[in-house]
Amino acid sequence: MAGKEMCEHSAPGEIRVLCIEGEIVFRTPSIEQTLIAGDFVLLGRGVPHALKAVLDSSALLTICLAS
């Protein structure tokens, strides 16, 4: 939903966030990147990040928990 935000948090493993549709702003302490359909980001385990939907959007999150 446009305007919806996820506050800063972290994941217990490496993550990949793929924007399926819409537009999402993805933030870490060191970057702010706008994702549109087909764009993705990779992030290491435990890195703080936040998201905001600029438009109505869908995203796929994959977390790698393997050691």
User: Which pLDDT tens digit goes with each residue over 37-54?
Assistant: 999 999 999 999 999 999
In this prediction the pTM is 0.89
Burial class, 28, CB count within 10 angstroms (exposed 0-12 / middle 13-18 / buried 19+): middle
- Cβ contact 26:16 at 8 Å: no
pLDDT of residue 58: 96
Here the tokens at position 27 are 């933030």
Of the candidates 37, 1, 3, the residue with the CA atom closest to the CA atom of residue 18:
37
pLDDT of residue 43: 96
Domains, the chain, with CATH or none: 5-64 (2.60.120.10)
Per-residue confidence band for 8, with pLDDT thresholds at 50, 70 and 90: very high
